[in-house]
């Protein structure tokens, strides 16, 4: 059994955090599916900014769409969805084999809508229609303004990847939105089988506090937040409220580990992959991290359902002066701002190529 297959066998889906036209044209994604048990992928504005800016693979399509009168956001959406439809088709066998549990790709709404509830809902519905693939998630950030848009999207039958979650509390807010959307569908006599994932960002915690805590605490905060959130996830799946929905056919909103590439050059390059090996979750990892785990990773321990020592570790961070509640809010705001910066850079690249 290869290293990446270990994750699959313990019940964790392995997704790629990245996409490019070169990866599709050259057969790289096909190889990752066949050799590394990759069963999905995610994208975001930063990923497409890098892919389009560092390659000529999009130039001909960009010129063609520009001549046809497309520009700006609409031109980018067409470019991105061309890639994501191809990827979705590659993952369709996994989607069909698992009854829609696995085999997904993700496309983000414009980051400029992070504080626009109605705009996010309308954009999600539009992307879902335009993509015309059953295994494409639309990503909406789990900001306070995004939470109502997530609920309305689930009610409308749009599969949602909730992004930019940084804490147990932010995760639970997204889970509540998902549950309310499904409950409203059941009350209206609609099919309760609408899929969703909740993406908890991990490594950014450690980057934020790396120069503010003792050496013994470095690279431990993100994993502790993961453990705390995983416990809340398992408790929700065991709750009477969820079991009632499951009994009528609803699917659980799966917990997804995001931002799992190691940022500290002195730490293991597969730190977050090994620490976050947990059943019924997804780990979406950058290509570099995927290749590193395939080379020398192993699943020696599985995350405890109660989060293990997460609370004890978080107590140590509190003693060191880290206010995790305030930091979670800041990280979410900073994450939204960084995606806006990437979005603007991306649109400028497309305008230049056009």
pTM value is 0.96
- The C-alpha atoms of residue 73 and residue 45 are separated, in whole angstroms, by 11
CB of 178 closer than 8 Å to CB of 156: no
Determine the 3-state secondary structure of 283 from DSSP: strand
For residue range 162-197, what is the model confidence (pLDDT) as tens digits? 999 999 999 999 999 999 999 999 999 999 999 999
**Dihedral of alpha carbons 155, 98, 258, 135, sign:** negative
Whether pLDDT at 118 is above 80: yes
Q: pLDDT grade, residue 279 (50/70/90)?
A: very high
Please give the pLDDT value at position 86: 98
C-alpha pair distances (Å), 38 with each of 43, 90, 201, 213, 252: 15, 11, 20, 36, 21
For residue range 313-326, what is the model confidence (pLDDT) as tens digits? 999 999 999 999 99
The tokens for 89 are 């088709």
Please give the pLDDT value at position 7: 92
* Beta sheet of 254-258, edge-to-edge order: 38-42, 12-17, 281-285, 254-258, 196-201, 160-165, 136-141, 105-108
Q: Is 139 a catalytic residue?
A: yes
76: enclosing H helix or E strand: helix 72-97
Please give the pLDDT value at position 298: 86
Please give the pLDDT value at position 154: 98
Catalytic residue among 139, 212, 288, 353: 139
Q: Indicate the average pLDDT of the chain.
A: 96
Q: pLDDT grade, residue 141 (50/70/90)?
A: very high
Most confident of 37-41, 63-67, 343-347: 37-41
What does the DSSP 8-state code read for residue 26? T
Whether pLDDT at 105 is above 90: yes
Please give the pLDDT value at position 171: 98
Q: What is the mean pLDDT of residues 19-37?
A: 96
Question: Around 14, how many Cα atoms within 13 Å sit in the side-chain half-sphere?
Answer: 27
Q: pLDDT grade, residue 1 (50/70/90)?
A: low
């Amino acid at each position: 059994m290869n290293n990446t297959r270990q994750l699959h066998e313990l019940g964790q889906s392995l997704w790629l955090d990245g996409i490019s036209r070169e990866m599709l044209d050259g057969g790289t994604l096909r190889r990752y599916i066949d050799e590394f048990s990759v069963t999905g992928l995610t994208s975001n504005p930063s990923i497409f900014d890098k892919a389009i800016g560092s390659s000529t693979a999009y130039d001909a399509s960009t010129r063609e769409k520009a001549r046809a009168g497309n520009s700006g956001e609409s031109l980018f959406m067409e470019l991105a969805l061309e890639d994501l439809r191809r990827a979705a088709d590659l993952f369709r066998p996994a989607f069909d084999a698992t009854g829609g549990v696995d085999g997904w790709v993700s496309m983000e709404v414009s980051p400029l809508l992070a504080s626009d509830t109605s705009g996010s809902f309308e954009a999600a519905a539009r992307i879902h229609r335009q993509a015309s693939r059953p295994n494409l998630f639309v990503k909406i950030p789990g900001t306070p303004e995004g939470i109502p848009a997530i609920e309305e999207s689930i009610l409308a039958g749009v599969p949602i990847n909730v992004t930019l979650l940084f804490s147990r509390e932010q995760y639970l807010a997204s889970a509540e939105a998902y549950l309310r959307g499904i409950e409203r569908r059941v009350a209206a006599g609609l099919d309760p089988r609408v899929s969703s994932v909740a993406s908890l960002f991990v490594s950014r915690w450690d980057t934020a506090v790396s120069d503010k805590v003792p050496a013994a605490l470095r690279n431990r905060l993100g994993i502790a937040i993961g453990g705390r959130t995983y416990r809340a996830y398992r408790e929700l799946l065991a709750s009477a409220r969820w079991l009632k929905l499951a009994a009528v056919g609803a699917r659980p909103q799966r917990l997804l580990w995001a931002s799992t590439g190691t940022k500290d050059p002195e730490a293991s390059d597969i730190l977050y992959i090994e620490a976050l090996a947990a059943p019924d979750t997804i780990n979406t990892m950058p290509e570099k991290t995927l290749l590193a785990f395939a080379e020398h990773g192993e699943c020696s321990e599985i995350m405890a359902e109660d989060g293990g020592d997460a609370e004890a570790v978080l107590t140590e961070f509190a003693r060191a002066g880290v206010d995790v509640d305030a930091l979670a809010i800041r990280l979410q705001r900073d994450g939204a701002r960084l995606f806006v910066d990437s979005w603007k850079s991306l649109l400028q690249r497309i305008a230049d190529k056009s």
